[in-house]
Amino acid sequence: MPHIPMLKENNVRKGFFVHGDFINLREALPSYLKGFVTFAYKTGWRVSEITSLTWSQVDLENNIVRLESGTTKNNEARTVYLDDELNAVFLNQKARQKELGKISHYVFLNESGTEKIKAFRGAWSKACTDSKIGKKLFHDFRRTAVRNMVRAGIPERVAMMISGHKTRSVFERYNVVSETDLKLAAQKQEAYIQAQMGTITGTVTKIPIEANQKILL
C-alpha cells in the first residue's frame, strides 16, 4: 500500500480570559452563576467537578474543598484552600439555601434552587454578548487558571495539583502563552541586559602600573 501522508492535527483550543473580561462576564451573569464562575476562574476545575460538588466535600472552618479519589477524571484526590473571596462564595451559597428553606446536598444550585446546576448555555451566551467579550467557553476558565497560577509564581507541580492535570504535556497545552507574555519577556530581557551593562560601565577598571612609571599623589 502506498504511504499517504496525514496532515498534522491542530485542534488545541487557545481561549482564555483576561481579568477584565472575566469581571464583565460575571457582572452580566444571573446571580446564581456568579459564585459558580468565580470558583471555576480561580481553580480551573472541570465543569462537572464543580456542578457535582457537595457540602460533604467542603470544610469552611478550615477553608478547604476536597475531591476524593475516584470522583475526578484522573481518579486522583485533590485539595484546594479557599482564599477570602472563595470563602465568601461558599458562605453565600449556604445563606442562599437557608433563605430558600432547601438545604441541598449540592453546593451550587440552579436558578430556582431546586437542584444542582445542569444547563446554563443560554445564560452564558447572553452574558458573553451583553458583556461584549466575544464568544467564550466555560472550559476557557481551565486554561486561564493555569496561566494565572504560573504567572503568580506558583510552582507548576502545585498548579497541576490544584487544576487536576495529571500529565505535564496536557498542562503545558493549557499554559497558554499570549502576545502580552511575549512582550513582557522581551521587556524583562532588555531590563536584564541593561542592568548587566550598568554593572560593567560602573566598574572601576584597574590599570597595571609599569615598574618605571611614577605615581602622582
- In 14-146 the beta strands, taken as DSSP E runs, fall at 58-59, 64-67, 78-81
- In 20-70 the beta strands, taken as DSSP E runs, fall at 58-59, 64-67
Instruction: Specify the residue for cell string 615598574.
Output: 211
**pTM greater than 0.75 (yes/no):** no
Domains and CATH numbers, the chain: 19-174 (1.10.443.10)
pLDDT (0 to 100) of residue 14 = 64
Q: Return the bridge partners of 65, or none.
A: 58, 80
pLDDT in tens, 24-82: 999 999 999 999 999 999 998 999 999 999 999 999 999 999 988 655 455 567 888 89
Name which residue leads in pLDDT, 62 or 215. Answer: 62
pLDDT in tens, 178-207: 556 556 666 766 777 678 776 655 554 443
Nearest to 33 by CA among 134, 131, 101: 131
Q: How crowded is residue 124: how many other Cβ atoms within 10 Å of its Cβ?
A: 19
pLDDT in tens, 99-154: 998 789 999 999 999 999 999 999 999 999 999 999 999 999 988 888 888 787 77
